[in-house]
Amino acid sequence: MTTTSLTMAKALNAGLRKALENDPKVLLMGEDIGKLGGVFRITDGLQKDFGADRVIDSPLAESAIVGTAVGLAIRGYRPVCEIQFDGFVYPAFDQIVSQVAKLRSRTEGVYRMGIVIRLPFAGGIGAVEHHSESPEAYFAHTAGLRVVSCSTPHDAYWMIQEAIAHDDPIIFCEPKCRYWEKGDVDLDNPGRGLFEANRVREGSDVTVVAWGPSVKTTLRAAEVAATEGRSVEVIDARSVAPLDLAPLVASVKKTGRLIVVHEAPPTASMGADIIRRLSEECFYSLRAPGLQVSGYHTPYPPARIEDAFRPSVDRILDAIDRSMDYGL
């Protein structure tokens, strides 16, 4: 086993490099991703090593970036589009939901849509408006799109390669507040498939499901809860479309309690949908109603108060207390 310690940013860079090396049809496209290496330096050095015809500095036009990727995918290429910030994806929304999501089905598989749309998402970096969105539910709602999120450098390294190799279009959500955090990366073994959930902490009292930036916060809350005598099982969903339901069902049937943590607002959210599905599957095992710990149904706030908007250790602990207090 070959293991190295990388930040998530470096792990994504290494995964993109590997994909470029392994398949000459892989192309990277986005604003400032070439010479600059992207605003988060995820593509640093790749244009120098692979050339400007494979790591392409695009115009500031998200709809054009994704529209060009559709044409490239039809011709057999595997374009990887970087959307500079999550809130900038909306100009490309029509292309994504009307063309990217539907062309493989519309052509009965004649055209593959092997497109990856990289989306730095969620908050935690003190950014201005339109730079801290959590739009995963928009895309998960659209049949034909797959939506995944990494939470560790190891998953970042492997999941980006697996997404690029896939024939369906994938929205690849990267938690930007975790870009600079280090972790071990096993360079030989991915450990999990792209669409598989991962139990990252075993417990017996309550199941907490999270993804992306919320996984680490949830693990911190689980550690605190353990000092109070509460055993919290944490599952990293990793994929929200499709959702790997079986491990979640098994966990909730064991614990009898469910909490879902994410940064997006609670209304029409992935958390609400996960609670609905697990309530159906685990109705006779539940000892308390499913709870969400999420952002609020407001536009993302100014940086000085974003910590009050995002799920925190204290808010997760409060949800654990409320779930346990039902006493069923």
Report how far residue 274's alpha carbon sits from residue 288's, in angstroms, rounded to the nearest whole number: 15
Residue 235 has a pLDDT of: 98
- Digit-coded pLDDT (tens) for 180-212: 999 999 999 999 999 999 999 999 999 999 999
Domain that holds residue 285: 198-325
- Note whether residue 108 is domain-resident: yes
- Note whether residue 257 is domain-resident: yes
Is-contact 144 117, C-beta < 8 A?
no
Report how far residue 6's alpha carbon sits from residue 193's, in angstroms, rounded to the nearest whole number: 21
Q: Name which of 16, 21, 2 is nearest 160 in CA terms.
A: 16
**Do residues 221 and 241 both lie within one domain?**
yes
Residue 327 has a pLDDT of: 64
Residues in the chain where the model's pLDDT stays below 70: 327-328
- Note whether residue 318 is domain-resident: yes
The answer to whether the bond into 242 is cis (omega within 30° of 0) is: yes
- Note whether residue 134 is domain-resident: yes
**Do residues 55 and 14 both lie within one domain?**
yes
**Do residues 39 and 173 both lie within one domain?**
yes
Locate 199 and state its tokens. Answer: 């139990």
Residue 328 has a pLDDT of: 56
Q: Name which of 234, 166, 250 is nearest 199 in CA terms.
A: 234
DSSP code of residue 98: I
- Note whether residue 9 is domain-resident: yes
Is 131 a catalytic site residue?
A: yes
**Do residues 136 and 212 both lie within one domain?**
no
DSSP code of residue 194: T
Question: Domain of 102: which CATH number?
Answer: 3.40.50.970
- Note whether residue 148 is domain-resident: yes
**Identified catalytic residue from 131, 154, 166, 262:** 131
**Do residues 170 and 203 both lie within one domain?**
no
Residue 1 has a pLDDT of: 74
Q: Which of 157, 186, 215 is the last residue of a domain?
A: 186
What is the tally of structural domains in the chain?
2
**Do residues 56 and 119 both lie within one domain?**
yes
Is-contact 116 160, C-beta < 8 A?
yes
Q: For residue 84, what are the contacts with CB-CB under 8 A and spacing of at least 6? A: 30, 31, 32, 38, 39, 120
